[in-house]
Structure 1
Amino acid sequence: MKSKIVLIFLFTLHILGLNAQGIEFFQGTWKEAMAKAKTEDKLLFVDAFAKWCGPCKSMAKNVFTQQKVGDFFNVNFINLKLDMEEADGVTFGHKYPVSAYPTLFFLDGDGKVIKTVTGGQQPDGLILQGEDALRKNDKSGKFEEKYLAGDRSFDLMLNYIKALNAVGKPSLKISNEYLNSNPAITENQKLSFILEAAVDADSKLFEQVITNKSKIVSITGLKTFEEKCLSACQVAAKKAIEYEMESLLEETIEKAKKTFPDGADVFAAKANMQFYKTFKNENKYISSYKVLAKKSEGDAATLKYIIQDVVKNFKENPKMVADIAAYAEKIYEQVDDVESLNLYCSTLILNKEVDKAIKIVTAAKEKAEKSGQEISNFDGLLNYLNSKKA
Structure 2
Amino acid sequence: MADSQDIEKGSSGSLYQPFFHKDEKQQNSHDNGNLFMVILCTFVAVMGSCEFGSSIGYSSPTQQGIMEELGMSSEEYSMFGSILTIGAMVGSISCGRAADLIGRKGTMKMSSIISIAGWLIIYLSLGPLSLDVGRFLTGYGIGVNSYVVPVFIAEITPTHLRGALLTVHQVAIATGLLVAYAVGAFVSWRTLALTGMIPCAVMILGLYFIPDSPRWLAMVGCQAEFNAALQKLRGDTADVSREEAEIKDSLVTLQHLPKATVLDLFLKRNLRLLIIGVGLMVFQQFSGYNGVVFYANQIFTSAGVPPNVGSILYACLQIIVLSLGAVIIDKAGRRPLLMISASGMLLGSLLTGASFCLKEHELASDMGPMFTIIGIMIYMGSYCLGLGGIPWIVMSEVNEEHVVFSLAFK
Q: Is TM-score (shorter-chain normalized) higher than 0.5?
A: no
Structure with greater Cα Rg = 1
TM-score of the pair, normalised by structure 1: 0.24
Q: Which has the higher strand share?
A: 1
- Which protein, 1 or 2, shows the higher relative CO under an 8 Å CA cutoff with sep ≥ 6? 2
Q: Which has the higher helix share?
A: 2
